[in-house]
Every structure is written in structure tokens, then in C-alpha cells.
């Protein structure tokens, strides 16, 4: 019996639009409510905002990150694209970040620990820039 190898065609299309669409929609929904104060904050509004935060920015970014990582590592359909690796990591991590923030808001927990979480995300920016420079 001969071993068969399955090869996928390389894709010039990077699936980052869904991640940015989810992020933009999340910022529009959450930012609009905070900026304009409408609708007024209440337990019902917080639960609704939590659901929107979970599904749009959270799920869309997490899905994009996993899609990129699987496409780069398991199937090699995006070629040798170092910036996509960092984008995959960042989309996945930020999707999980939105899951946590949305769930916190959904159940009505304190927002105070979110500030500490922001400190952990800060090192990602220079690392992403360094990876981008190394790939040139």
C-alpha cells in the first residue's frame, strides 16, 4: 500500500476581514453605548451588551486567530508569512479577552481587574512590530 499525501493549494486571501469586522462592530456597540449613554446602563442592557461582546468581537476574532494558526501550521495554505503568525496569535488572544470582558459584563462582575489585564497585553505591540520587521 502506498502512502498518499494531501496537499492544499496556497491561498492569497488572508481571512482577517472577519476579525476586523467583529472588532469594529464590538467597538461600535460598546463604544457607542458608553460615549452617548444610550441605552442607559441596567442589568438587562449589560446582559445584552455582554452577549454582543461575546459573539461579535470575541467570537469573530477568536475564529480568525484559530483559522490563521491552523492554516499556517497544519495545512500551510498561507505560505511562510511571519506577520500572519503574529496576527493569528493576537486575534486568538484578543478574542479570548473579549470573551472574558463580555462574560464579566453579562454576569455583572467588577470591571476593576480589567486594568491589570491591559498590562499583560502591552508587550504584544513591540513583539508584533519586531516580527513584522524580521519578515521583511
Q: Which helix (H) or strand (E) holds 133?
A: helix 124-134
Per-residue pLDDT tens over the stretch 115-132: 887 787 777 677 766 766
Whether the per-residue pLDDT at 83 is higher than 80: the answer is yes
The pTM of this model reads: 0.83
How high is the mean pLDDT of the chain? 89
Pick the closest to residue 111 from 122, 119, 100 (CA basis).
100
Question: Cis (ω within 30 of 0) for the bond into 39?
Answer: yes
Separation CA 95–CA 58 (nearest Å)? 4
Q: Domain extents for the chain?
A: 17-134
Q: 59: which DSSP letter?
A: I
Residues above pLDDT 90, as percent of the chain: 59
* pLDDT tens digits for range 5-59: 888 888 888 889 999 999 999 999 999 999 999 999 999 999 999 999 999 999 9
Amino acid at each position: 500500500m502506498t502512502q498518499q499525501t494531501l496537499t492544499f493549494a496556497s491561498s492569497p486571501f488572508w481571512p482577517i476581514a472577519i476579525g476586523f469586522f467583529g472588532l469594529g462592530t464590538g467597538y461600535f456597540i460598546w463604544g457607542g453605548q458608553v460615549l452617548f449613554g444610550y441605552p442607559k446602563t441596567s442589568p438587562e442592557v449589560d446582559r445584552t451588551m455582554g452577549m454582543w461582546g461575546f459573539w461579535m468581537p470575541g467570537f469573530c476574532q477568536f475564529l480568525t486567530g484559530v483559522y490563521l494558526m491552523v492554516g499556517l501550521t497544519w495545512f500551510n495554505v498561507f505560505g511562510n508569512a511571519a506577520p500572519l503568525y503574529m496576527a493569528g496569535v493576537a486575534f486568538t488572544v484578543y478574542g479570548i479577552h473579549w470573551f472574558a470582558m463580555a462574560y464579566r459584563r453579562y454576569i455583572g462582575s467588577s470591571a476593576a481587574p480589567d486594568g491589570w489585564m491591559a498590562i499583560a497585553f502591552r508587550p504584544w505591540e513591540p513583539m508584533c512590530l519586531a516580527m513584522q520587521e524580521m519578515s521583511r
